[in-house]
Amino acid sequence: MTSRRVIPLSPYRITPLTPNPPTGYPEMVTTFVERPHGCLSPVLLDPVLDDPDLMRDIAVRNGPYFMPARYLVSDATADSASDNSMQPDVEVPDYLIGPTWRGDWAVGSQPLVDGIDCVLEHQGFAEAARAIYDAEVVVPEQVYANLSTPMPGQGFSHTDIPEFIGIDRSNAPGWLLQAMGTSRLFEDVRITIVTAVAWFYQGERGFFRYWPNGRDSDSIRHEKMWNTAAVGDNDYMHHQVERIGPAGVNKPDGLTINSLLDHDGERWVIQEDGQTLLDYGDEDVRLSVSWKAKIYADETTRQAADAGEGGTDLEEVVARLADELGEPRPENAEAALGSAEFRNHLTARWNGYQAGR
Ligand SMILES: [Fe+2]
């Protein structure tokens, strides 16, 4: 990873911000869909599971849960951001601090918790994915849970953390992947990822809003939050969690990026430094379960992508991003990943968030 490529005068094509790739796509991508509205429309499923209560049981059994904002501020790889180690002193914008917590339930196509196979291998998700992307090969990779206690609406939409041939969650931090995706500078090495989000919440509100025709068009609010799912293009399609709980609810005081959510056998508890900040009944905690799969047009495309053909590397990624930012290139990729200044420049410009409706 430390070898420097010889970079010709015109090292890469700058993909226009309208993500509408030309036909006959010459680069190494895994599917060949066009996104004339910026993203593809999702497919809704209802019901999702024969035994939806199982998801609540799995949630209760597998805490504690950590704040997903760790993906965006840590220089660790995205895969390791969930190891529950304390974050060093890092500046975290307040809007990224919960009250939403995450648990990884399957990683690298392997289940990490008992009972999750019914989601990892969900045939309805895979069929929807094949239809959305006109693709033959669906490789389920991850399942994770998001648990939220009552909170106001997020106030901003987001797109998910993408992956690329050569650069993925195993070797790059979440903020770098997010900048790569949002910048549209790496469409030539994109891996198509589909996301199914399924909800298992019977409390007040907790709706899901999404923009199926691009962020500048109308949005849709999904309101049935028990045992339904949206299978969609979430690396491109903006989406947002609305208010959870009653009108006027505020997020709790005292949360930090190290706050944890766990279940003590009777109640959900928010813990900070080993102390309980607050506790909630099961009906107050919103659960969504996300499934992510890599999508390939066919088996040949998958094999080429798995072999890393035409892929990029960290040195090239840092060079492209620094050039587009107009910032000096960090000395090398290692220096860039350890630089709070570089990270801040990237996340200020390409963070995947957008405020307002
Ligand atoms: Fe998301």
Q: What are the tens digits of pLDDT across the range 189-235?
A: 999 999 999 999 999 999 999 999 999 999 999 999 999 999 999 99
Residue 354 lies in a domain: no
Q: How far is the CA of 238 from the centre of ligand 1 (A)?
A: 8
Q: How far is the CA of 290 from the centre of ligand 1 (A)?
A: 9
Q: How far is the CA of 108 from the centre of ligand 1 (A)?
A: 19
Residue 334 lies in a domain: no
Q: How far is the CA of 224 from the centre of ligand 1 (A)?
A: 18
Q: How far is the CA of 310 from the centre of ligand 1 (A)?
A: 28
Range of the domain at 264: 43-311
How much is the pLDDT for 49? 98
Backbone CA torsion sign across 315, 317, 320, 325: negative
Q: How far is the CA of 157 from the centre of ligand 1 (A)?
A: 8
How much is the pLDDT for 136? 96
pTM (whole model) above 0.85: yes
Residue 219 lies in a domain: yes
Residue 196 lies in a domain: yes
Q: What are the tens digits of pLDDT across the range 279-316?
A: 999 999 999 999 999 999 999 999 999 999 999 999 99
Total count of domains within the chain: 1
pLDDT tens track of the chain, all 357 residues?
333 333 333 333 333 333 444 444 446 789 999 999 999 999 999 999 999 999 999 999 999 999 987 766 666 777 765 554 555 556 677 877 879 999 999 999 999 999 999 999 999 999 999 999 999 999 999 999 999 999 999 888 999 999 999 999 889 998 999 999 999 999 999 999 999 999 999 999 999 999 999 999 999 999 999 999 999 999 999 999 999 999 999 988 889 999 999 999 999 999 998 899 999 999 999 999 999 999 999 999 999 999 999 999 999 999 999 999 998 888 999 999 999 899 999 999 998 888 876
Residue 28 lies in a domain: no
Q: How far is the CA of 2 from the centre of ligand 1 (A)?
A: 32
Residue 234 lies in a domain: yes
CA distance 356 to 211: 12
**124 within 8 A of 130, measured Cβ to Cβ:** no
Q: How far is the CA of 159 from the centre of ligand 1 (A)?
A: 6
Q: What CATH number does the domain containing 194 carry?
A: 2.60.120
Q: How far is the CA of 253 from the centre of ligand 1 (A)?
A: 24
Q: How far is the CA of 160 from the centre of ligand 1 (A)?
A: 5
Residue 182 lies in a domain: yes
How much is the pLDDT for 90? 62
Q: How far is the CA of 158 from the centre of ligand 1 (A)?
A: 6
How much is the pLDDT for 97? 86
Residue 60 lies in a domain: yes
Q: How far is the CA of 195 from the centre of ligand 1 (A)?
A: 8
CA distance 303 to 61: 37
Q: How far is the CA of 204 from the centre of ligand 1 (A)?
A: 20
